[in-house]
Amino acid sequence: MKLAILGFGTVGGGTADMLVKNAELLAARAGEPIEIKYIVDIREFPDSPFADKIIKDFSVVESDKEISLVIEVIGGAKIAYDFTRRALLAGKSVVTSNKELVATHGAELLAIAKEKGCFYLFEAAVGGGIPVLSPLTNELGHNEISEISGILNGTTNYILTRMFSSGASFEAALAEAQAKGYAESDPTADVEGHDAARKIAILGALASGKLFSADHILTEGIRGIRAEDVAAAAKIGYSIKLLGRYLATRSGDLFLLVAPFMIPAESPLSGISDVYNGVLVRGNFVDDVMFYGRGAGAAPTASAVVADVDKIARGVAQRPLFANAESDALTDISFFSARRYVVVEGVDANAAQIIFGETEPLSSEENAFLTVEMSEDSYLTRVKRLEACGGSVVSHIRLYR
């Protein structure tokens, strides 16, 4: 089997490395050697051991009949989209780690793959090295999935872990994540929750058969989390994690959201620290299943990319399928209900209690409290009332249950 890698960055380099280092093992499993014929990148890599394979022109791959599989690890949804479509239309299977492309054009690309009798697989797009998409579609596909809650972004989990363990501010923890090479120089997609939104869109699509645009997912990042909030949560046995959540209730509601949640210590999601990812899946017969591992990095992500290559080479790949969903197939997020941690200023504790109803005070230094369960709509109505009284919300974090 001869393949091409599109993009020789971190994941492309890790994938090439694994295909070479584990070549014997992979050949024994597939019954034939798996060979990298081309690596497509516009940059020069004269000192790379793969220098003789690097080409600039994708059309060479597209028209080479020997190439049956293409690994797309360019990222983004522009060139990667064009190359993926063209590869699939030429009957070549495509394996990717590109969550943005799958979350944006996955339904269309899967349909092309089906029509052409090839595969479009993306295990590496969610949870890095953690095998989660394949178990969700295969071993758990016959369960009705009522919940997927995941710590799906390593960078933000590292930042929140540092804020928890050292009391650092968000800015200081972000700078630390950047210095360690975890966060990008432009960390927007991570800290604003967009990366997690793409990942929960993909998980939700595999669970429901419907791909919701990330634009329709309520997405809140972690920029507003203060060291005081992390400390207040810790005091009552909670940690704060950025969660991507898919919830399908018995009454037929379907919610998708990304937001920081306060998580009680007894939840298995609470102990997932540093750059690790964790995904909890709840099925109607299996109950809770947890997936845990490295959600990012060259080697773990390469492991997931090569897992898909291996499945195609062994002839055991399954074709996931989902369709684009109408935005109204999601329940209006204003009905999403949760207990809430709220910090207010500008009004006294009595007024806050009258506005927010029954509350559990948390701090003597700040007007911080936990509310009873209330919908987004009800919460926002109370915030308006607070503002009309000259107060404002300093912090608001939903509680996980």
Catalytic residue positions, numbered: 199
Nearest distance from residue 152's CB to ligand HSE, in Å?
7
Nearer to ligand HSE, 128 or 278 (CB): 128
What is the C-alpha separation between 109 and 87, in angstroms, rounded?
10
Structure tokens at 151: 């710590």
Nearest distance from residue 296's CB to ligand HSE, in Å?
4
Question: Would you give the DSSP letter of residue 235?
Answer: H
Nearest distance from residue 116's CB to ligand HSE, in Å?
28
Q: Directed axis angle between helix 298-314 and helix 23-30, to 10°?
A: 20
Nearer to ligand HSE, 120 or 276 (CB): 276
Query: Looking at 17-25, 153-161, 278-286, 315-323, which segment touches ligand HSE (CB under 6 A)?
Result: 153-161
Nearest distance from residue 100's CB to ligand HSE, in Å?
10
How many Cα neighbours within 13 Å face the side chain of 282? 12
128 binds ligand HSE (CB under 6 A): yes
376 binds ligand HSE (CB under 6 A): no
Among positions 41, 72, 100, 190, the unique one binding ligand HSE when judged by CB under 6 A:
190
Q: Which of residues 261-300 bind ligand HSE (CB under 6 A)?
A: 295-296
Q: Check if the beta carbon of residue 102 is closer than 8 Å to that of residue 73.
A: no
Nearest distance from residue 151's CB to ligand HSE, in Å?
9
310 binds ligand HSE (CB under 6 A): no
Nearer to ligand HSE, 181 or 252 (CB): 181
Q: What are phi and psi of 96, to 5 degrees?
A: -145, 160
Among positions 153, 270, 367, 395, the unique one binding ligand HSE when judged by CB under 6 A:
153
Percent composition of the chain: helix, strand, coil (DSSP 3-state, to 5): 40, 25, 35
Q: Check if the beta carbon of residue 288 is closer than 8 Å to that of residue 270.
A: no
Burial letters for 100-129: b for 16+ Cβ neighbours within 10 Å, e otherwise?
Answer: bbbbbbbbbbbbbbeebebbbbbbbbbbbb
7 binds ligand HSE (CB under 6 A): no
The residues that touch ligand HSE, with contacts defined as CB under 6 A, are 128, 153-155, 190, 195, 295-296
